C-alpha cells in the first residue's frame, strides 16, 4: 500500500511538472508572437477590439481614450449615470459645473478616479434647452444632450497622482478622457489641472459663475483671456455614491485585484501596447473588462428607459 502511494505521488509530481513545462512553453510562444507583430498591427487589432466600446489606444500618451464619435455621444448625460458608477466598478469623484448661456442650460463636468482596472480622468460638455424630466421611481432632473461639433471646446488636463504626473491630454473635443491601464488609485490621491478655452468672454463669465455656485473660490481657478484654469482635487459637490458608500472598499478591492492580475499576466512586457495586445489576444474576457463592456450595457439600458419617456412626450419642449 505504501509503495502504491509513493508511486501515485511520483506520478502526480511528473504530471504537474509536465503541465508547468507545457504552460511555460506556451507562454513563451505567446510572448514571442506578441513581440514579432509590428506596432501598426497591434494598434489596429487593439482598436478593432475597443471600437464598439467607444475607445481607442492613444499610443502617443500610452493610454486608452474616448473616440470623438462613440456610442456614448448618443446617450447624453444625466446625474443618474454618476449614481450608477459604483455598480459599474467605477469609484470616482464627480464635479458638475452648471451654468446658463445663450438661453440654454449647460453642464461641464470633471471626473477622476478608478475605472475598473484603469486610473483615469474625464471632462465632458453637455447642454439642454428642455425642462427637467420626471420618471416616477426612476429619475427626476435635467437630461442633457452631448454638444455638437460646433460647440466643442479646446480642452486639456493633466492627471496627477500625489505629486507625480500620470499623463496629460489636449484636444478640441466634447468628452476629453484618458485611462492608464493597470494603474490603481484612490480618487482622493488624484488631482486634475484643467484648462478650458471658451469661444467668447460671455460664456467664460457664465462658466465662472457656475464654478462659484459649485463652491469654488477666487483662489481655486485662474482666468486669462477666454480661458479658465482649474485645479480639481477634493470635489465640492455632493457625490452620487451615497447608496454604495458601504460597498466602495469592496469595489476598490476588486478593482485592485483586477489591476494586479493584469500586471501579473503581462509581466513579460515593458510597453503598454504589448501588454494590451497580449490581453486582447490571449485573455479576451479580461480585455472586455478593460473595455468596460458592463458599462456599455447598463448605460444603454438607462438611456432606453429615458428615451422611451422622451418619445412619449413626457418632457415639455416649450
pLDDT of residue 317: 38
The three cell numbers of residue 118 are: 484603469
Residue 209, pLDDT above cutoff 50:
yes
Average pLDDT for 181-185: 96
> Using one digit for the tens of pLDDT, what is the confidence trace for 166-180?
999 999 999 999 999
Is residue 5 in some structural domain?
Answer: no
> Using one digit for the tens of pLDDT, what is the confidence trace for 85-110?
898 899 999 999 999 999 999 999 99
Q: Which residue has the higher pLDDT, 306 or 192?
A: 192
Q: Are strands 164-173 and 190-197 parallel, antiparallel or unpaired?
A: unpaired
Please tell me the distance from the alpha carbon of residue 227 to that of residue 32, in angstroms, as a whole number: 48
Nearest of 311, 301, 306 to residue 134 by alpha carbon: 306
Residue 239, pLDDT above cutoff 90:
no
Q: Are strands 145-146 and 118-128 parallel, antiparallel or unpaired?
A: antiparallel
Is residue 281 in some structural domain?
Answer: yes
> Looking at the chain, how many residues does it have?
318
Place of cell 478640441: 172
pLDDT of residue 302: 86
**Best mean pLDDT range from 36-40, 108-112, 136-140:** 108-112
For residue 212, the enclosing domain spans 40-236+244-311
Please tell me the distance from the alpha carbon of residue 261 to that of residue 267, in angstroms, as a whole number: 10
Is residue 26 in some structural domain?
Answer: no
Is residue 317 in some structural domain?
Answer: no
Please tell me the distance from the alpha carbon of residue 161 to that of residue 176, in angstroms, as a whole number: 18
Using alpha carbons only, give the angle 252, 234, 65 rounded to the nearest 5 degrees: 60
CB-based burial, 252-275: b 16+ in 10 Å, e otherwise: beebeebbeebeebbeebeebbbb
Place of cell 512586457: 269
Using alpha carbons only, give the angle 254, 282, 300 rounded to the nearest 5 degrees: 55
Q: Which residue has the higher pLDDT, 56 or 239?
A: 56
Q: Which residue has the higher pLDDT, 78 or 23?
A: 78
Give me the percent of the chain exceeding a pLDDT of 90. Answer: 64
The three cell numbers of residue 283 are: 485573455
**Best mean pLDDT range from 105-119, 133-147, 292-306:** 105-119
> Using one digit for the tens of pLDDT, what is the confidence trace for 244-262?
778 899 999 999 999 999 9
Domains contained in the chain, number: 1
> What confidence category does residue 10 fall into, taking pLDDT thresholds of 50, 70 and 90?
very low
Average pLDDT for 57-73: 94
pLDDT of residue 311: 67
Residue 6, pLDDT above cutoff 70:
no
Q: Which residue has the higher pLDDT, 310 or 120?
A: 120
Amino acid at each position: 500500500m505504501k509503495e502504491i502511494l509513493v508511486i501515485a505521488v511520483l506520478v502526480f509530481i511528473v504530471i504537474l511538472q509536465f503541465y508547468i513545462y507545457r504552460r511555460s512553453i506556451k507562454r513563451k510562444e505567446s510572448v514571442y508572437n506578441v513581440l514579432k507583430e509590428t506596432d501598426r498591427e497591434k494598434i489596429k487589432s487593439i482598436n478593432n477590439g475597443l471600437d464598439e466600446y467607444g475607445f481607442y489606444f492613444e499610443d502617443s500618451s500610452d493610454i486608452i481614450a474616448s473616440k470623438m464619435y462613440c456610442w456614448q455621444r448618443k446617450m447624453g448625460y444625466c446625474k443618474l449615470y454618476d449614481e450608477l458608477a459604483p455598480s459599474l466598478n467605477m469609484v470616482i469623484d464627480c464635479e458638475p459645473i452648471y451654468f446658463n448661456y445663450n438661453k440654454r442650460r449647460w453642464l461641464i463636468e470633471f471626473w477622476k478616479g478608478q475605472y475598473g482596472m484603469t486610473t483615469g480622468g474625464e471632462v465632458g460638455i453637455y447642454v439642454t434647452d428642455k425642462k427637467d424630466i420626471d420618471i416616477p421611481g426612476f429619475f427626476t432632473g435635467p437630461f442633457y444632450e452631448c454638444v455638437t461639433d460646433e460647440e466643442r471646446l479646446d480642452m486639456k488636463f493633466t492627471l496627477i497622482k500625489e505629486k507625480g504626473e500620470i499623463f496629460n491630454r489636449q484636444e478640441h473635443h466634447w468628452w476629453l478622457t484618458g485611462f492608464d491601464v493597470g494603474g490603481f488609485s484612490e480618487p482622493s490621491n488624484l488631482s486634475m489641472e484643467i484648462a478650458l478655452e471658451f469661444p467668447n468672454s460671455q460664456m467664460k463669465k457664465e462658466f465662472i459663475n457656475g464654478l462659484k455656485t459649485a463652491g469654488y473660490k477666487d483662489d481655486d481657478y485662474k482666468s486669462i483671456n477666454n480661458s479658465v484654469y482649474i485645479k480639481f482635487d477634493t470635489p465640492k459637490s455632493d457625490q452620487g455614491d451615497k447608496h454604495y458608500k458601504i460597498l466602495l472598499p469592496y469595489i476598490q478591492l476588486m478593482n485592485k485585484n483586477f489591476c494586479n492580475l493584469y500586471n501579473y499576466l503581462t509581466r513579460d512586457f515593458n510597453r503598454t501596447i504589448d501588454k494590451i495586445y497580449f490581453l486582447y489576444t490571449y485573455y479576451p474576457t479580461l480585455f472586455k473588462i478593460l473595455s468596460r463592456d458592463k458599462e456599455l450595457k447598463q448605460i444603454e439600458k438607462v438611456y432606453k428607459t429615458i428615451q422611451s419617456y422622451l418619445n412619449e412626450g413626457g418632457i415639455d419642449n416649450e
